[in-house]
């Protein structure tokens, strides 16, 4: 899951296939397709590990400490989550790069993992990535 945090208002925004803004309106972002997303403004891109998030949700305790899940800051240079500078007058619109076979496979794996508990997902993802590879 891709999100961003606005450095002005500290709002955290989850991206969807439509433009979403932070509270102050200085940052916005959206998914361009199933893999690629863009964000604008003074923001830092974030990611949630879908598998660990779903596991934590499915194992929410009634009381005590909550369940941990994996979240991370996405690097400034990321092929699937790009910061777009404001468009300059006269500049041609750039074409969105088509996803590579590996990026498509990774997106499919994330969807697969999000539908299972952590142990099942780990086993299935291992099978998913090893399928079709020859023994070396």
pLDDT band at 29; cut points 50, 70, 90:
very high
Identify how many contiguous H helices and E strands the chain contains and give both numbers.
Answer: 3, 8
Q: Residue 109's pLDDT is what?
A: 58
Average pLDDT of the residues in 99-126? 59
Q: Residue 120's pLDDT is what?
A: 59
Q: Kindly report each contact of residues 10-18 with a partner whose C-beta sits within 8 Å and lies 24 or more positions away, as own/partner.
A: 12/46, 15/39
CA pair distance 81, 84, nearest whole angstrom: 10
Q: Is the pLDDT of residue 17 over 80?
A: yes
Which ranges constitute the DSSP H helices of the chain?
Answer: 50-58, 101-114, 118-130
In the chain, where the domains are located: 2-86+99-130
- On average, the pLDDT of the chain sits at 80
Which residues does 99 contact at the CB level (< 8 Å), separation at least 6? Answer: 33, 34, 35, 36, 80, 107
CA pair distance 10, 113, nearest whole angstrom: 29
What confidence tens digit (pLDDT) does each residue in 58-108 have? 999 999 999 999 999 999 899 999 998 555 555 455 555 666 766 666 666
Average pLDDT of the residues in 26-50? 94
Characterize 94-120 residue by residue with b for buried, 16 or more Cβ atoms within 10 angstroms of its Cβ, and e for exposed: eeeeebeeebeeebebbebbbebebee
Average pLDDT of the residues in 97-125? 59
Q: Residue 113's pLDDT is what?
A: 53
For residue 105, give both structure tokens: 């496979």
Give the lowest-confidence range in 10-24, 56-70, 89-103, 118-132. Answer: 118-132
Q: Is the pLDDT of residue 135 over 90?
A: no
CA pair distance 110, 115, nearest whole angstrom: 9
Taking the model in full, what pTM does it have? 0.61
N-to-C CA span, the chain:
34
């Amino acid at each position: 899951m891709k999100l961003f945090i606005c450095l002005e208002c500290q709002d955290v925004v989850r991206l969807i296939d439509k433009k979403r803004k932070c509270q102050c309106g200085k940052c916005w972002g959206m998914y361009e397709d199933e893999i690629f997303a863009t964000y604008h403004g003074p923001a830092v891109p974030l990611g949630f590990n879908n598998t660990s998030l779903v596991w934590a949700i499915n194992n929410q305790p009634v009381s005590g400490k909550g369940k941990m899940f994996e979240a991370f800051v996405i690097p400034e240079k990321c092929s699937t989550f790009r910061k777009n500078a404001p468009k300059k007058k006269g500049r041609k619109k750039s074409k969105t790069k088509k996803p590579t076979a590996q990026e498509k496979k990774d997106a499919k794996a994330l969807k697969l993992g999000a539908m299972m508990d952590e142990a099942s997902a780990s086993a299935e993802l291992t099978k998913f990535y090893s399928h079709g590879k020859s023994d070396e």
